[in-house]
Amino acid sequence: IHTKEEPYQCPECEKTFNQKANLFRHQTIHARMGPCKCTKCGKCFPHRRHLIKHQLLHSRGGAHKCGVCGKRYRLKKYLRRHQKIHT
């Protein structure tokens, strides 16, 4: 039986896995790359390049900010998609 249940969660980035072995394999990313946690908001990323891209949101002021909840988006189309949750 195949289910979409993923009971194994990475404590570093909260990514989930269906097998413990896959979690262990994933955790080597964090060991090799060091911590990939944003010092501004605490969000974690599996790869350093994703963290660097994310940090641009903070340094640029997030370009596109939701007027309701304050979430920031790099692209305006992502902000528009997000804003639908408030309507």
Distance between start and end Cα atoms, the chain: 39
Question: Can you tell me the distance from the alpha carbon of 26 to that of 6, in angstroms, rounded to the nearest whole number?
Answer: 14
pLDDT one-digit tens code per residue, 25-74: 888 876 665 567 888 787 877 777 888 888 877 776 666 888 999 887 87
The torsion angles phi and psi of 28, rounded to 5 degrees, stand at -65, -25
Number of other residues whose CB lies within 10 A of the CB of residue 26: 17
Mean local confidence (pLDDT), 1-24: 82
Q: What mean pLDDT is predicted for residues 15-21?
A: 91
SS3 59: helix
Q: pTM of the predicted model, to two decimals?
A: 0.37
- For the chain, the domains span 48-84
